[in-house]
Amino acid sequence: MENINDYIIHPRQIADKSSKESLQKAIKLALDVETDAVRFNTQTFNTNRYKAVKKLNDYEELKDRARQIKEDSIQNLPALIVKLSHSIKARGGIVFIAGSKKEATDYIKNVCISHNAKLIVKAKSITSEEIELNYEMEKVGIEIAETDLAEFILQVSKEQPSHNVAPAIHRSRESISELFKRNFRTDKRLDTGEELTEFARDILRQKFLSADIGISGANLIAADEGTILLVESEGNIRLTTQLPTVHIAVAGVEKIIPSKKDFGIFIELLATSGTGQSLTSYTNILEPPIDLPVLNLNGRQGKQREFHLVLIDNGRMKMREDDDLREALYCIRCSACMNVCANFQAVGGHAFGGEVYTGGIGGAWTVGTTGSLEKGRFAELCTGCSRCVPNCPVRIDIPRLNTTIKNRLIKADGGPSFQKSFFGNFSTIGKYASIIPVLSNWVSNFAISRKLMEKIIGFDKRRSIPQFAKKTLVKQYEKYRKSTIVKSKTNILTRRVVLFADVFTNYNNPQVGMAAIRVFDKLGVPITLSKVLDDGRALQSQGLVELARNKALKLAAYLEQLIDSGKEVIVVEPSVLSLFRYDYKKLINNDKLFYKLAKHTYDPIEYINKLLIHLEVDLTNKLNIPNPSSTYIFYHAHCQMKTVGAGNAASDFYRSLGFNVSVSNVECCGMAGSFGYKKEYYELSKNVGSDLINQIRKSNSFDNKTIILASGISCREQIEDELNNPIYHPIEYLEKILK
């Protein structure tokens, strides 16, 4: 069987020119070999995390405080490094500040050689992976034993970690059993997790008792007293830091915060976000050199405890000066972003990762610590769905980091590919294709056209091509309004309503826009239609940030005029609503205007919910369905709707009308706009989507009469590709059943 590590982007292995091909091979191999184990383990972590978060009454406040501490710490980092150095030295410890990975490993090697060390026990440390510590120690003949169970497994299998918290998350219990039996002489069955753990424990126990030096990482370091926080689940860190006489802690400079009094905030967030626990099994707060007797178990250790803190820059201070990448330094390595990411759930960190750092947050870290933009190309796997944003305990805008990398890659490549230009400029394509839509649709469905599109644009020929409407939303609205004029049935409304004609709805899905128009008319709420303007979403998703900003600034100014004239803006496409409520904050860089847009833009069902509360209208007597409770609805909310707080609007609305509603619990449909159309990501997109399709099929309420609702155009396309049932936008279905 092929090993997925054959395709990992690694500094000693691969040339920049082949990285695109290597990424595609890694995705394919991960889907073939690792997807089941990765999906099960990440989704288990994720489910546990959601349960744990519900137990925290002050969760949002904790995130705000953690974010502020990290912001301040990175801002004041040079001073904190000096203060920490003084604190450690005052206790008799030694601090070494390494500018590069070589400086770090050279220093550690010299310490080990000066103590005539033969064996080192090492706790899990992603920073030690970054500097390739094991490889460098082995070159000088020093054995280094990984003591974390997952890292021990990877050391035996000679694999790279695929996850921050659970490095061997890609391996099943059966594969670990086979690995141990192949590499060790044993008659034990090794069928259960307990048997595997006991087997590894017996091997590692001898290492602990024989080690000359212990090496650990650090979750956080407090500058005021030189206190180190280390959280773990197995107890191996305690043995690593307390049994050997010499303890070396390896940490990036970004791990420094001002005071240990703030540890409590991060301890709570780390456990909850990482593993879904209220508290990790072992929480170690050390002030080394620790005041414990020297056991001198191997006869070679000294009589006095010794502590070395190796603080590593290796690109971090440069990241600190980078306005676009600085935010990555706030990361506390909890892995919540990985566990919640649909693409990571499918392929794990061996495909969605670089040399060391994986997942959405890994792109910025890989670029920052290697100095190579090309090695961050796996950032293309970030679809911008934004599910990671509300799940990050320090509120890092991970999609924005990856958009920055995509943008820089485009510039480094000499400009956008034809594929990126095509998908990014959909508004222009829609404008011209809609002049003669019948011809456009006819031509695009020829077999030869499909082949050419796949070869030139990278549009996978297996994917259905969206059809352009015979009449755009604008044309349909103009014809409709000539014969239908509605007066308000209430004088309570102080603001008028306008439907934003986004390019997707105007050219491809005008029926959804018209459904919204007719529903508001039936409710006695006059609604008009806006101009058709490109919102910049498609351009941003391709990494064409400057062009997206130009479109956004023009549209934001237009929307401001509408809002200032007394209008509320209804948006039927969730990705566009997310732009106005989230992405525009950084895209237009005008807080006053952004907050105005965020306050006055609504999903149609969300706004109707608001109307019903204020107007105290009962819709149950306005329905064509006499007994809603006998009608089953399956609803899938768009990723970005959840991020901007509108994810439950439709399900809550239909439940309030008496319908029997089931809601999907998957992170993403897998389509993610243009992502699912691209040949290189088609298989991944379908793999991610299988979770949603299977849930619909297995739902207790699923039969041919079940009503399937999905807010996003991408979501509906992904579901329609697999099921024969009609898929409705929530506003479409309301229009069907409303008298």
**Could you read off the pLDDT of 404-443 as tens digits, one per residue?**
999 999 999 999 999 999 999 999 999 999 999 999 999 9
Summarize the confidence of residues 577-604 as an average pLDDT.
Answer: 97
pLDDT in tens, 616-638: 667 888 898 888 998 999 999 99
pLDDT value at residue 621: 83
pLDDT value at residue 15: 30
Please determine whether the domains at 76-314 and 618-739 fall in the same fold group of CATH: yes
User: At the topology level of CATH, where does 618-739 sit?
Assistant: Rossmann fold (3.40.50)
Domain-wise residue ranges, the chain: 1-75+326-415, 76-314, 618-739
Q: How crowded is the C-beta side of 228, counted as CA atoms within 13 Å?
A: 27
pLDDT in tens, 681-723: 999 999 999 999 999 988 755 556 789 999 999 999 999 999 8
Cα separation, 709 vs 655, whole angstroms:
13
Cα separation, 690 vs 304, whole angstroms:
59
pLDDT in tens, 161-197: 999 999 999 999 999 999 999 999 998 999 999 999 9
pLDDT in tens, 124-156: 999 999 999 999 999 999 999 999 999 999 999
Residue 286 pLDDT more than 80?
Answer: yes
CATH of 76-314, one of 3.30.70.1060, 3.40.190.10, 3.30.420.10, 3.40.50.10420: 3.40.50.10420
Cα of first residue to Cα of last residue in the chain, in angstroms, is 61
pLDDT in tens, 381-390: 999 999 999 9
Cα separation, 163 vs 664, whole angstroms:
26
pLDDT value at residue 13: 35
Residue 1 pLDDT more than 50?
Answer: no
pLDDT value at residue 702: 54
pLDDT value at residue 11: 32
**In terms of Cα–Cα distance, which of 137, 121, 127 is closest to 240?**
121
Residue type, 299: G
Which of the two residues, 21 and 589, has the higher pLDDT score? 589
Here the tokens at position 29 are 């191999």
Which of the two residues, 300 and 390, has the higher pLDDT score? 390
Angle of helix 149-157 versus helix 193-210 axis, rounded to 10: 90
Summarize the confidence of residues 496-525 as an average pLDDT.
Answer: 95
Q: H or E segment at 122?
A: strand 119-122
Summarize the confidence of residues 314-318 as an average pLDDT.
Answer: 98
Cα separation, 380 vs 358, whole angstroms:
13
Here the tokens at position 302 are 């000294």
Summarize the confidence of residues 249-277 as an average pLDDT.
Answer: 95
**In terms of Cα–Cα distance, which of 328, 342, 337, 352 is closest to 388?**
337
pLDDT value at residue 619: 83
Cα separation, 69 vs 73, whole angstroms:
6
pLDDT value at residue 563: 97
Average pLDDT value for the chain:
92
* DSSP-assigned letters across all residues of 48-109: HHHHHHHT-TTHHHHHHHHHHHHHHHHHTHHHHHHHHHHHHHHTT-EEEEESSHHHHHHHHH
The pTM assigned to this predicted structure is 0.94
Residue 488 pLDDT more than 70?
Answer: no
Residue 225 pLDDT more than 50?
Answer: yes
